[in-house]
Amino acid sequence: MILAITQRYGLSEKGSEKYSIDKEFKDIFEKLNVLLFPISSLTNIEKVTEICDGLIVIGSPIDINPKNYNEQPITEVHKMAKEIDTLDFTMIKAFNNVNKPILGICRGIQVINVCFGGSLYQDIPNHRLPLKERHNVKFEKDSFLYDCYNVEQMKTNSRHHQAIKEVAKGFKVVAKSEDGIVEAIENKNIVAVQWHPEYMMDIKFFDYFVNKICNKKH
């Protein structure tokens, strides 16, 4: 299996610009015998959607430009936001158009929601916790999360200051934190979570996506 994965913009220790993914993704998908196909541009996107079995849209410290959901920014928009937004929106639409699975993580859930017409809270309190801290998230029984873990709630990390406000049409909220923040959504071949399962080395989560969603005939 081959999965496309969005690389993220950042700066090296020397200050040079780069695109990369976290090592946790490499380690997890090696164990699952899945080849990751890193994406940092829209070159030959038709070929990418042809050879890849699904798409993973990962997190980023760069916020989505609020103008994409018809709001004025409350803070300065990052210089790379337009480029990253365009990459994410285009890739999501391309894979959705050919009915291939999409997984969103952190910024990924947010950009998926905006891509299909939803909106975001530009800033929320109490969710940018230290990496090792956990908070409780409750699952809906009829959901990919419940099917994956067979529990109604679990502890997850929380490393974000934005979250879904209006849920995009057609999407179902399948998890919330105890303060009501949307933590997961799904719609047909698209699933997305607000936390970072890769930082938890949650093989079970990614194995479920690969074997139950990517291998499902849509």
What is the C-alpha separation between 189 and 21, in angstroms, rounded?
Answer: 23
What is the C-alpha separation between 144 and 109, in angstroms, rounded?
Answer: 15
Asked if 8 contacts 21 with a C-beta cutoff of 8 angstroms, the reply is yes
Domain ranges of the chain: 2-214
The pLDDT > 90 percentage for the chain reads 86
Is the pLDDT reported for residue 14 higher than 90? Answer: no
Determine the topology of domain 2-214 in CATH. Answer: Rossmann fold (3.40.50)
What is the C-alpha separation between 152 and 176, in angstroms, rounded?
Answer: 11
Tell me the CA end-to-end span of the chain in Å, nearest whole number: 16
In this prediction, residue 217 carries a pLDDT of 54
Is the pLDDT reported for residue 186 higher than 80? Answer: yes
From the centroid of its chain, how far is CA 96?
14
119-171 pLDDT, tens digit per residue, is 999 999 888 888 788 999 999 999 999 999 999 999 999 989 999 999 999 99
Q: What are 19's two structure tokens? A: 């695109």
Active site residues: 106, 196, 198
In this prediction, residue 214 carries a pLDDT of 86
22 confidence band (pLDDT: 50, 70, 90): very high
Is the pLDDT reported for residue 180 higher than 80? Answer: yes
54-102 pLDDT, tens digit per residue, is 999 999 999 999 999 999 999 999 999 999 999 999 999 999 999 999 9
